[in-house]
C-alpha cells in the first residue's frame, strides 16, 4: 500500500510550531516547574537567557504576572489546592482527522459474543476497543475504557448501541467513512431490495483472510455442546417469511430474545463479514436465562424440544397472543389446524379389530399445531437369513398416512384418527420420532426415511374443502432444510465400554443455485440432493410452492421405495 501523501508541502511548514501532544492535557499552570534555559541547575534565579529562549521566558513571566494579579484581587485562594481536570476535545486537531485509525486491527474484532464489560461484567453503555477487541464500560474520565486507553495505549472505541466511534482519552467522535465496514459488521442491515435478491441472485463473498463463503451458508461455532441449537437456528434462518421479518423489522422495543435472534439472522446473511462463520453466544446466553438453564451451551439437548420452546417464546416476544391464533409472524408461518377423532377402546369379545371405529359417538377436537410428529414403524430385532434389512427403509408418504383421516391408531386407551384441515401453513415442520424412553433405557430407531426434495403432494392428508381449495388440485411442498442425526461411538470408562454420542447436522437448499449444502458446526460442504435421504432425518422443513405448478419440476428427487 502506497504511503499517504502530506496534506501540505513540507517546505511551507518549516517555520510552524509542532502540534500539541496527544497526551491528556491539564489546565494546571501553577504546577509547572521552572525552566532551565542554558542547561545549568535551576536554584530559583534565572540567568540571562539565550536569544532563542527569550520568547519562552517572556511567556512564563506573563503567566506569573497574571497569577499575581488574580491573587491580589482575591480571585484565588492560597489554601485551596488546584484541581487538575482533563481537557475533553470535541473534535480532533486540525490535520489529524484520521489519527490512531491505523492502529485498528479488524482481524481480532469479534462482535458475536455477549456485550459485557470485561472488568465490571456490566451490559450498560458498553464500548468495544477496536485495537484488541475487548469490551469496556463507559468512556468518561473514570470509566474502564478510559483507563484501558491510558494503560495500553489503545485509543479507538465503538459504542455497541449507537455505533459511534470515539478516540480516548481525548473523547472526540471520529466521523470517518473508513469505519463504515466495522459499523456494518456490528449491526448488519440490508435494504428491502437487497433482501429480495437473496434467493434470486447467486452471491459469493470473501472474509478478511481471503476465504470464500456464501452468505446464508456459513458455519456456526459450537462452543461446547450447542450443536442442537445451531441446526435449529440455521434451519429457521432459511424460512423466507420468517427470515425477511427479522431482517427488516425494527425490534428495538421487543424483548432481548427477539433482538438477538434478529441480529444472528442478519449476521448469517451478512455479505461483508470479517469472518466466514458466526458465533451464537449472545443468543444462547439469553435463552439459557429465559429457559432457567433448560437449554445451555454446555449440555446437549433435543433439537425438537428446543424448537418447540423457541418458537413459542419467539411468538410471545414479537407481540403474539396466547389465545388468539395467527397473532404473530411465527404462527402465520408455521401454525396449522388439525382434526382429531377419538373413541374409547372397549373390551368387547365380538369385535375382531380393536382399532375399528364403531358406530358409537366419536369425539372430535380441533386443535392448532406448529410441528407435526411422524411415527416410524418398529425396527426389526433380528436380521433375515440373507442378512438384509440391516437398516430398514420407509417412504415419507407411508408415515404421513397417519394424517389421512382413515388409518386409526391406538393412543393410551383410545383409538384416534388425525386429519389436516385447510388452509395449510406456508411452512410445514415434520418431526420424525426416532427416540423413545422407558424406565430403563433410551432407544433409537435407525430406520431411514426416503423422500423427494421437490413436489411433495400434501392434498391426500387434508380434508377436502371446496371453498378453500379445489379437491382435485395437488398441494405442492418443497424441502428447505433437513436436520439429521448421527450416532457416533465414543470411548467410555463405564462398564458397557462404549457409548453413543449424538451428532446433529443440517442440510440447506440454496435457492439461487438450486444446490444443497451440509453444515455441521464450522464445517460447510456441498451435498447432492439425490442422497439426502441416506441420513437419519429428524426434523424437516417444507415450504409451500407459491405458484401452482405441476410435478414435472422434480429435480433432485430421491427414490421413495
Share of the chain above pLDDT 70, in %: 75
**pLDDT class of 363 with cuts at 50, 70, 90:** confident
pLDDT at 36 over 50: no
pLDDT at residue 31 in the model: 43
Task: Assign 347 a pLDDT band (cuts: 50, 70, 90).
Answer: low
Domain 101-185 fold is Herpes Virus-1 (3.30.40)
Q: Could you give the angle at the alpha carbon of 329 between the alpha carbons of 328 and 331, nearest 5°?
A: 70
Least-confidence region, from 219-233, 265-279, 535-549 = 535-549
The predicted pLDDT at position 373 comes to: 94
Length of the chain: 561
Which triple of cell numbers denotes residue 66? 497574571
Q: Is the pLDDT of residue 178 over 60?
A: yes
Structure confidence at residue 34 (pLDDT): 46
SS (H, E, C) 25-46: CECCCCCCCCCCCCCCCCCCCC
User: Given CA atoms 226, 231, 234, 239 in this order, what sign does their dihedral have?
Assistant: negative
Report helix, strand or coil for 408: coil
Hey, do 188-313 and 336-369+371-544 end up sharing a CATH topology, with the first three levels equal? yes
Residue range 391-449, pLDDT digits in tens: 888 999 999 999 988 888 888 788 889 999 999 999 999 999 999 887 777 788 899 99
Lowest mean pLDDT among 53-67, 87-101, 231-245, 248-262: 53-67
- What integer is the mean pLDDT of 223-248? 95
Which residue bears the cell 381449495?
469
- Which pLDDT does position 467 carry in this prediction? 86
CA distances from 328 to 320, 322, 370, 426 (A): 5, 10, 13, 14
What is residue 551's predicted lDDT score, i.e. its pLDDT? 40
> Is residue 260 exposed (0-12), middle (13-18) or buried (19+ Cβ within 10 Å)?
buried
The average pLDDT across 550-556 equals 41
pLDDT of 65 over the 60 cut: no
- Mean pLDDT of the 325-348 span: 88
pLDDT digits (tens, 9 = 90+) for 509-534: 999 999 999 999 999 999 998 889 89
Residue 52 is classified by DSSP as G
Question: Given a cut of 90, is residue 385 above it in pLDDT?
Answer: no
Which is more confidently placed, 435 or 2? 435
| Higher per-residue pLDDT: 146 or 387 | 146
If one looks up domain 188-313 in CATH, what number appears?
Answer: 3.90.70.10
Comparison of pLDDT for 14 and 186, the residue scoring more:
186
**pLDDT given for residue 32 in this prediction:** 47
* Cell numbers found for residue 108: 481480532
Structural domain spans, the chain = 101-185, 188-313, 336-369+371-544
The per-residue pLDDT for range 103-116, each reduced to its tens digit, is 999 999 989 888 99
Q: Chain-centre distance of CA 453, in angstroms?
A: 27
Q: What are the pLDDT digits (tens) for 287-306? A: 999 999 999 999 999 999 99
Choose among 454, 481, 479: nearest CA to 555.
454
Domain 336-369+371-544: which topology? Cathepsin B; Chain A (3.90.70)
* DSSP secondary structure of 195-253: HHTTTTS---EE-TT--EEBTTB-EE---SS-HHHHHHHHHHTT-HHHHHHHHHS--TT
268/217 Cα distance (integer angstroms): 7
Q: Rounded distance, CA 113 to CA 297, Å?
A: 13
Taking Cα atoms as reference points, which of 551, 536, 404, 561 lies closest to residue 482? 536
Q: Name the pLDDT band for 11 (thresholds 50, 70, 90).
A: low
pTM of the model: 0.79
User: Mean pLDDT, the chain, as a whole number?
Assistant: 82
- To the nearest whole percent, how much of the chain has pLDDT over 90? 56
Q: Please list the alpha-helical segments (H only) found in 383-503.
A: 396-400
Amino acid at each position: 500500500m502506497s504511503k499517504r501523501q502530506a496534506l501540505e508541502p513540507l517546505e511551507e511548514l518549516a517555520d510552524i510550531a509542532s502540534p500539541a501532544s496527544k497526551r491528556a492535557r491539564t489546565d494546571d499552570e501553577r504546577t509547572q516547574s521552572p525552566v532551565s534555559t542554558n542547561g545549568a541547575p535551576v536554584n530559583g534565579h534565572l540567568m540571562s537567557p539565550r536569544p532563542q529562549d527569550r520568547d519562552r521566558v517572556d511567556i512564563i513571566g506573563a503567566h506569573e504576572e497574571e497569577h499575581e494579579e488574580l491573587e491580589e484581587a482575591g480571585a484565588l485562594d492560597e489554601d485551596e489546592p488546584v484541581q487538575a481536570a482533563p481537557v475533553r476535545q470535541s473534535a480532533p486537531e486540525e490535520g489529524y482527522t484520521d489519527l490512531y485509525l491505523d492502529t485498528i486491527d479488524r482481524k481480532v474484532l469479534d462482535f458475536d459474543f455477549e456485550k459485557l464489560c470485561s472488568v465490571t461484567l456490566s451490559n450498560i453503555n458498553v464500548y468495544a476497543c477496536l485495537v484488541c477487541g475487548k469490551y469496556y464500560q463507559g468512556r468518561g474520565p473514570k470509566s474502564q475504557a478510559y483507563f484501558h486507553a491510558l494503560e495500553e495505549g489503545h485509543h479507538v472505541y465503538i459504542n455497541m448501541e449507537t455505533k459511534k466511534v470515539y478516540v480516548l482519552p481525548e473523547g472526540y467522535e471520529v466521523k470517518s467513512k473508513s469505519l463504515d465496514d466495522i459499523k456494518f459488521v456490528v449491526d448488519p442491515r440490508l435494504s428491502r431490495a437487497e433482501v429480495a435478491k437473496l434467493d434470486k441472485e447467486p452471491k459469493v463473498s470473501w472474509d478478511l483472510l481471503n476465504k470464500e463463503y456464501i452468505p446464508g451458508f456459513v458455519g456456526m461455532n459450537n462452543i461446547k455442546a450447542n450443536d442442537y441449537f445451531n441446526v435449529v437456528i440455521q434451519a429457521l434462518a432459511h424460512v423466507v417469511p420468517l427470515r425477511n421479518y427479522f431482517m427488516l423489522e425494527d425490534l428495538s422495543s421487543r424483548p432481548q430474545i427477539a433482538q438477538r435472534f434478529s441480529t444472528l439472522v442478519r449476521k448469517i446473511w451478512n455479505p461483508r463479514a470479517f469472518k466466514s462463520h458466526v458465533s451464537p453466544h449472545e443468543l444462547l446466553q439469553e435463552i439459557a436465562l429465559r429457559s432457567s438453564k433448560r437449554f445451555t451451551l454446555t449440555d446437549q439437548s433435543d433439537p425438537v424440544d428446543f424448537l418447540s420452546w423457541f418458537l413459542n417464546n419467539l411468538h410471545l416476544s414479537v407481540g403474539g397472543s396466547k389465545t388468539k391464533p395467527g397473532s404473530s409472524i411465527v404462527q402465520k408461518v408455521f401454525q396449522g389446524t388439525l382434526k382429531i377423532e377419538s373413541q374409547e377402546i372397549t373390551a368387547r369379545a365380538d369385535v375382531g379389530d380393536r382399532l375399528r371405529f364403531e358406530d358409537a359417538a366419536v369425539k372430535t377436537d380441533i386443535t392448532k399445531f406448529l410441528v407435526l410428529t411422524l411415527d416410524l414403524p418398529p425396527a426389526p430385532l433380528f436380521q433375515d437369513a440373507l442378512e438384509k434389512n440391516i437398516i430398514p427403509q420407509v417412504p415419507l408418504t407411508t408415515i404421513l398416512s397417519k394424517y389421512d383421516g382413515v388409518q386409526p391408531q391406538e393412543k393410551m386407551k383410545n383409538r384416534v384418527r388425525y386429519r389436516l384441515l385447510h388452509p395449510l401453513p406456508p411452512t410445514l415442520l415434520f418431526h420424525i420420532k426416532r427416540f423413545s424412553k422407558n424406565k430403563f433405557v433410551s432407544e433409537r430407531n435407525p430406520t431411514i426415511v426416503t423422500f423427494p426434495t421437490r413436489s411433495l403432494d400434501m392434498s391426500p392428508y387434508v380434508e377436502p374443502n371446496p371453498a378453500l381449495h379445489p379437491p382435485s388440485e395437488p398441494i405442492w411442498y418443497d424441502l428447505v432444510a433437513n436436520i439429521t442425526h448421527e450416532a457416533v461411538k465414543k470411548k467410555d470408562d463405564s462398564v458397557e465400554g462404549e457409548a453413543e454420542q449424538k451428532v446433529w447436522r443440517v442440510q440447506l437448499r440454496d435457492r439461487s443455485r438450486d444446490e444443497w449444502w451440509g453444515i455441521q458446526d464450522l464445517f460447510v460442504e456441498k451435498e447432492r440432493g439425490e442422497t439426502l435421504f441416506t441420513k437419519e432425518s429428524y426434523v424437516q422443513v417444507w415450504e409451500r410452492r407459491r405458484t401452482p405448478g405441476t410435478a414435472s419440476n422434480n429435480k433432485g428427487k430421491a427414490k421413495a421405495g
